[in-house]
């Protein structure tokens, strides 16, 4: 189960993802938010991720575009 704070890998599922991985080296991202009703995906679930390499780069992706790499421990 992916949740905010987890580290995920951006998978090469489309041209833009492949470009980010290959040319910019942005493979690892941090999950910021999970929205069940994202407009950019026709009101389906979207996950806001932030590049670990370049913190001012964020993007919305779908669950199929990412893979859990490191989960955040529940501290409660």
Confidence at residue 74, expressed as pLDDT on a 0 to 100 scale: 62
Indicate the number of domains in the chain.
Answer: 1
Give the pLDDT confidence of 37-46 residue by residue, as tens digits: 999 999 999 9
Is residue 75 domain-resident?
no
The whole-number pLDDT of residue 2 equals 94
Is residue 22 a part of any domain in this protein?
A: yes
Dist. CA 7–CA 19, nearest whole Å: 20
For 38, the token pair is 């994202």
Note down pLDDT in tens along the chain; length 76 residues. 899 999 999 999 999 999 999 999 999 999 999 999 999 999 999 999 999 999 999 999 999 999 999 887 765 5
Which residue segment(s) compose the domain that 33 sits in?
Answer: 7-70
In a domain, 2, yes or no: no
pLDDT score of 34: 97
Q: Checking phi first, is residue 72 left (phi over 0); if not, alpha (psi -120 to 50) or beta?
A: beta
* Position 45 in a domain: yes
């Amino acid at each position: 189960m992916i949740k905010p704070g987890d580290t995920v890998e951006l998978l090469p599922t489309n041209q833009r993802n492949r470009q980010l991985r290959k040319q910019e080296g942005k493979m690892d991202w941090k999950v910021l938010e999970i929205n069940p009703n994202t407009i950019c995906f026709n009101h389906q679930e979207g996950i806001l991720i932030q590049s670990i390499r370049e913190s001012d780069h964020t993007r919305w992706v779908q669950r199929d575009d990412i893979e859990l790499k490191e989960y955040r421990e529940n501290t409660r």
